[in-house]
Structure 1
Amino acid sequence: MKASIDDGRCRGHGVCTTICPEVFAMTDDGYAEAILDEVPDELVDSAREAAAACPENAVVLDQ
């Protein structure tokens, strides 16, 4: 699974980084970014939870 952030949607709430800090982090500009291109199997559930919790639907997960 690949993870990314839709830059046009992200407003910097940081929900994804709180739920799944192994995959998402905040940039110096205050927005989220995916720090791993490929989500390890053991983090898939956490990444999905982060995507579901994002208030802007900015977390993109592709199989």
Structure 2
Amino acid sequence: MIAVVNQDECIGCESCPEFCPEVFKMGADGLAVAYTNPVPSEFEEATKEAAEGCPAHCITIE
């Protein structure tokens, strides 16, 4: 599984690192980034929850 944050749509709300800090973090520009790819199997569920909980709907899972 690969997680991707669309930087053009991210609003910097910090919700994804709250769901799964092992995969998502906030970049220096204040936008989220998926820094762990491929996503380790033990974090797949939390990654999916982060994508579903994103208010900007800018996280895709491949």
Q: Which TM-score tier does this pair reach, normalised by the shorter chain?
A: over 0.9
- The alignment's TM-score, normalised by the length of structure 1, stands at 0.94
Tell me the matched-pair count: 62
Gaps of 5+ in 1: none
Following superposition, the deviation at residue 55 of structure 1 comes to 0.2
Partner of 1:31: 31
Task: Name the SS of the counterpart of 1:21 in structure 2.
Answer: coil
Partner of 2:56: 56
In percent, how many aligned pairs have the same letter? 37
After superposition, where does 1:9-28 map in structure 2 within 5 Å? 9-28=9-28
Following superposition, the deviation at residue 8 of structure 1 comes to 1.3
Runs of 4+, deviation exceeding 2 Å: none
- The alignment's TM-score, normalised by the length of structure 2, stands at 0.96
Gaps of 5+ in 2: none
Partner of 2:4: 4
Question: What amino acid is aligned across from residue 18 of structure 2 in structure 1?
Answer: T
